[in-house]
Structure 1
């Protein structure tokens, strides 16, 4: 599909958000060097950063040899740990790129959040990213804590994949998974991958580029959770997708398969949103509502509602 025929949102706030994004991160960014992509992305994330909630304690540390950043709100209402995996196509992003997002989720839920700074491709091919995230999860579960997995985009893939791996290994303690416009291994040639092939913010060719760079096997359910044979026994899930996003149907199909297997699942499709709308939560009404739904889901799983 050409960019002239691909549907686009009409909400003024999200259109302004896209204009800001384009000024920092070019639509053809994947054609640049990895170093340049990361510089552009870091600048974009800094543009949308915000002051942290009052009296929040932030600390960088190491868990299971993986760098992490923890967020402890002034008032704790839950002992459940929130484990966050950031987006960025497995190529860009860090614990800094999602700094304010993580802080606001932790503050809303009244629970400690740990953001995982997993290794990036192409320097580190799959399964380095999944290994890092699972190592952190396994370590925190050893303390007997309940855990909510949260991830956006590539991080949503990691959260879902880690949940599959935990089930396969018989690990208990994951009480919920919150997947935000996740990449879960769709076929790239049908559904939203065709309808939204040239959507603003993320194209189907971008998704193909990130997959190729990552080098993950397409039939591995940890790498591509839609390839899971049995969805029974996976943690309850909240899945939020953007209508104008080639990844939209990954989340929709995954939610359907979880529900068919008897897993408790909530599914939201944000009608005016594009990929990466989390960053628009303070300038778009649709993003604000969607972010509140994400935070409420995290709070529900954490037992804070």
Structure 2
């Protein structure tokens, strides 16, 4: 079974993927998680270029988002490096607004906050009456590499602390940490790290989309059935294993919840702020997102979950042109969550 033949696939998504020959199984990667590190880094640099081109294509020819002001601020991170923050605000806003602190996807290893998909996402959220701040963090590979765990997490924490310290100047009422895929990993880990360091007052809520959180890709966990059921839908678990191997090259953090949040014990989750976990029906990562959600509930955390039917990984963010209603439903859910807190 492939996406184009799976009867669950939204036909609009299938048509959009077919234009890029992505409605069928991807070719096997030329490297694996045990290949020499430099070979993996070289391969992921090529993957990043291909993904940039894909995002540029699917977000081309869209009308501009009106009434949004954009600015950039650079801070020094906890490791002494520059961290760029991309700030999007509604024009002529009055009163305090919720802030969505956005952490982009890419398996913690590739892509940038300046990508066309991220720019559009922040603009669309800001147009709904939100202050949106996108953090540019160091990656495990690609143009912003090569910086394995915990470099990116440190940058995300630095940006969050600056945002919290400047709430009044920015006109912010509360802060919602939000990310997709690898960005959801970092967002969930950020909430765990903030709890450990006594800084949970900086986070009012967490909205995680299609979280990449188990680390169980080289040796797949049989209980996470979507890793098998949706294998090679949009990407393969082999690709997920390569990304994981570059994020944690020595494999010394396999049980560290700051690296792989699904490893968190219930005691670690207790007392966290409200969460939303959104998953895609046809995503290999679907079940680890659902498992994290269930652990949150067991720990007594206020949480809800949603599943975006008929879609592959992150499709409700990526396919704005092909499925505008699906895209709109997700950004409105983020808006609703932010205003509900």
Same fold, TM-score > 0.5, yes or no: yes
1:128, distance to aligned residue in structure 2 (A): 0.8
The C-alpha deviation readout for 1:132-159, integer Å capped at 9, x for no partner, is 1011112222235521111010001011
Structure 2 unaligned regions, length at least 5:
31-41, 77-81
Inter-CA distance 173–42: structure 2 relative to 1 (3 Å threshold): same
1:123-138 maps to which residues of 2 (within 5 A)?
123-138=146-161
1:161-176 maps to which residues of 2 (within 5 A)?
161-171=189-199, 172-176=201-205
The C-alpha deviation readout for 1:72-131, integer Å capped at 9, x for no partner, is 1225364322110111122321112211012112212x1211111111113111111111
**Higher mean C-alpha displacement, 167-176 vs 156-165:** 167-176
The C-alpha deviation readout for 1:173-205, integer Å capped at 9, x for no partner, is 31111111111115333221122222x212211
CA distance in 2, matches of 1:120, 1:297: 28
The equivalent residue for 1:35 is 45
The equivalent residue for 1:67 is 84
Count of residues in Structure 1 that have an aligned counterpart in Structure 2: 299
The equivalent residue for 2:114 is 96
CA distance in 1, matches of 2:28, 2:176: 33
1:35, distance to aligned residue in structure 2 (A): 3.0
* 1:284 equivalenced with 2:323 (yes/no): yes
1:30, distance to aligned residue in structure 2 (A): 4.8
* 1:111 equivalenced with 2:130 (yes/no): yes
**Higher mean C-alpha displacement, 166-175 vs 151-160:** 166-175
CA distance in 2, matches of 1:301, 1:61: 26
1:21-32 maps to which residues of 2 (within 5 A)?
21-22=20-21, 27-28=26-27, 30-31=29-30
The equivalent residue for 2:55 is 45
Inter-CA distance 51–92: structure 2 relative to 1 (3 Å threshold): farther
Larger radius of gyration: 2
Structure 1 unaligned regions, length at least 5:
none
The equivalent residue for 1:177 is 206
CA RMSD of aligned residues (A): 2.7
Q: Which runs of 4 or more aligned residues in structure 1 lie more than 4 Å from their structure 2 counterparts after TM superposition?
A: 2-8
CA distance in 1, matches of 2:119, 2:28: 22
The equivalent residue for 1:17 is 16
* 1:219 equivalenced with 2:255 (yes/no): yes
Inter-CA distance 6–160: structure 2 relative to 1 (3 Å threshold): farther
1:6, distance to aligned residue in structure 2 (A): 9.1
CA distance in 2, matches of 1:6, 1:210: 27
User: Which residue among 192, 197, 200 is the counterpart of 2:231?
Assistant: 197
Inter-CA distance 272–118: structure 2 relative to 1 (3 Å threshold): same
Tell me the TM-score normalised to structure 2 length. Answer: 0.80
**Higher mean C-alpha displacement, 294-303 vs 112-121:** 294-303
Tell me the TM-score normalised to structure 1 length. Answer: 0.88
